Structures are given as C-alpha cells and as structure tokens.
Amino acid sequence: VSGGMTPADMVHIINRVTSMADVIHVSSGGVTPVPPPVYPGYQIPFAETIKRECSVPTIAVGLISSLDMVEETLHNNRADLVALGRELLRNPFFPLLEAWKRRVALPWPEQYERAFR
C-alpha cells in the first residue's frame, strides 16, 4: 500500500475477517523506507488497539524479552498472548529460567537439571 497502513486501516480490515479468525497475531511488519524505532515492547500498542477495536483475541510481539513485560501486557489486558520469538531464539529455556528465578518448580530436561539445583 502506497504510504503504508495505519492502525485504523488494520482495524477496518480485521473487523471484516474476525468471523474467520480465532486470534490475530499482530505485527506492524516494519517494512518501510525509514525503519521504525525499535525498543522492547514497541509493537504491544498495536495488539492492544486491535484487541480493543476488533473484540478479537490478540498475540503481542515486538522484542518482548522479560517476564515483567509479559505480565504487564497480560495483566493489563493489552493482549491475550505474547510471542517470545527472538528471546526464545537467544534463550530457549527462558520460560523455565524465569520460573526457576521465582522459585516455581517446573520439570527441566533431564540433562539440564543439575545446573539448576
């Protein structure tokens, strides 16, 4: 689309297809002549807008890299799910490690258990 799309454009499109969707995975794409500012959580507001304006469950993305950010997003109803793409590429055990830090007992792969006793 020449000049790009706005969140209002996306709301209009998504409202036309919500009956065919279970959840909307919200990403702005970032395909622009001038790259957008990128910072932790930078795409969460887009998921929040789609969730609010389209009454459809959303998945937030955008450099979500801490459990605090996950909890803030979910507890404040800004999205229904979060995607941890890059964080899980860097650290596949991110969810288990965050649970361990909070003294939540979850099973680890056997070969890693000794490192976290």
pLDDT, tens digit (0-9, with 9 covering 90-100), for 41-68:
999 999 999 999 999 999 999 999 999 9
pLDDT digits (tens, 9 = 90+) for 80-101: 999 999 999 999 999 999 998 9
Residues 101 and 56 in one domain: no
Residues 78 and 22 in one domain: yes
> Phi-psi bin for 30: left (phi > 0), alpha (psi -120 to 50), beta?
left
Widest Cα–Cα separation across the chain: 56
Owning domain of residue 67:
7-83
Mutual angle of helices 44-54 and 67-75, in 10-degree steps: 20
Domain assignment of residue 17, yes or no = yes
- What's the predicted TM-score (pTM) here? 0.84
Find the DSSP H helices in 44-111: 44-54, 67-75, 85-90, 94-101
Residues 50 and 104 in one domain: no
